[in-house]
Amino acid sequence: MVSAPAVSIRPSRATSAFVLAAAIVIGTLADHVPSRSPRRAGEYVVLEGDFHVHAFPGDGALAPWTLRDAAARERLDVFAVTNHNRTFTSRFAQWMAARSSGPIIIAGQEITNPAYHLIAVGIDHTVSADQPAKGAIADVHAQGGVAIAAHPTPRFHGYDDDATVAALDGTEAAHPADNVSNQRQFAAFFERARRLKPTMAPIGSSDFHVSPQLAGCRTFVFAREASAAGVIEAIRRGRTIAVDEDRRLYGDPRLIELLGPNPLEERRDDNGAWRRVSLALAWIGLLGMIVFA
C-alpha cells in the first residue's frame, strides 16, 4: 500500500510572513504625522479631544503608539483610552505618552454594566462595574477623575434617577449614531442633564474600536493649560463643546461664539486608504502565523 505524501504547511506560513512584512512596509511608507499647535480663544487654549477610544491589547484594534499617530493625523490634541472594565492598556498608554511627543493620552475606562455605560477619564485604578451608576461615579470622583455618560439612550435604566444624572460631569451629546433617532436621544439626554446640573459638559466621542473613524465626533475643550490636569478641570467645569457627525455643535453659546465661524478644520489624509490596507494585511498575516504555527 502506498502511503499518501505528507502535506507541508510551510508555504502557508511563509505566505503569512510575507503578508505581515508587506503590511509593515506599506504602513511605514504611508505614515505621515502632521504637527500642529492648539488654537487660543480668549483666556483659553482650545484642545480637540476624543474621550471614548478603545485600544489593543483589549477591545480595540490599534496599539497605543499607533492610536497616537492616528489621533495626530485627525488633528486631536488629547484622547482617552477607555477599554471595557480594564485600565492596564490605558495606564500604559498614558505612561508612554508622557515620554514621547504627540497628543496627550489620559488613562480611562468604560465602566460597563447592563444598566449603564460610564466613561471614566483620569483614573489610576479599575472601577468596579458591579454596582449602581451612582456608586461608580463616586468611585471615579474619589480617584480625581471625571465621569461621563456613554451613548445614553432610554435603554440604560441606570440613568433613570435624576440624582445619578446630576452627579455626572459630562454626557456624550455627540456619538456615532445608527440612525437620526439615536443622535436625537443623545442630545435630549444632554439637555436633561444640563437642566439638572448647569455645568454638565457636552462630550463628543467616537467610541473607536476598529471603526467608525477616530474623532468622527469630537470635543472642543476650553482648558487653562494644555495638560491632562487642564483637560479634566475644564470637563469638570463644563467648558466643552461637542461636535456630532453632521458638524452640529452642542454646548454653551458663549463658548461656541469663541470658536469663530469655521471651527472645524478640513482634514485631508491622502494615505488613509493605504494605512487601512496595511492594517488589514497585518491582521491577516498575524492570524496566518498563528494558524500555521
Burial class (CB in 10 A: 0-12, 13-18, 19+), 206: buried
In CATH terms, the fold of domain 36-269 is: TIM Barrel (3.20.20)
The reported pLDDT for the residue numbered 7 is 44
CA 105, CA 111: separation in Å to the nearest integer? Answer: 18
Query: Nearest-CA neighbor of 204 among 56, 63, 53, 37?
Result: 53
For residue 186, CA distances in Å to 2, 117, 149 come to 70, 13, 10
E strands, the chain, in order:
39-41, 44-53, 78-81, 104-113, 116-121, 146-149, 170-174, 201-204, 218-223, 240-243, 249-251
Q: Check if the beta carbon of residue 171 is closer than 8 Å to that of residue 193.
A: yes
Query: Nearest-CA neighbor of 255 among 223, 208, 288, 292?
Result: 223
CA 44, CA 53: separation in Å to the nearest integer? Answer: 25
The reported pLDDT for the residue numbered 32 is 55
Q: Give mean pLDDT in consecutive 10-residue pieces for the chain, a chain of 293 residues.
A: 47 71 64 71 95 96 92 95 98 94 96 98 98 98 98 96 98 89 94 98 96 88 97 98 95 93 65 68 72 68
The reported pLDDT for the residue numbered 9 is 42
For residue 24, CA distances in Å to 17, 170, 280 come to 11, 39, 11
pTM for this prediction? 0.82
Residue ranges of domains in the chain = 8-31+271-293, 36-269
- DSSP sequence for 89-121: HHHHHHHHHTTSSSSEEEEEEEEEETTEEEEEE
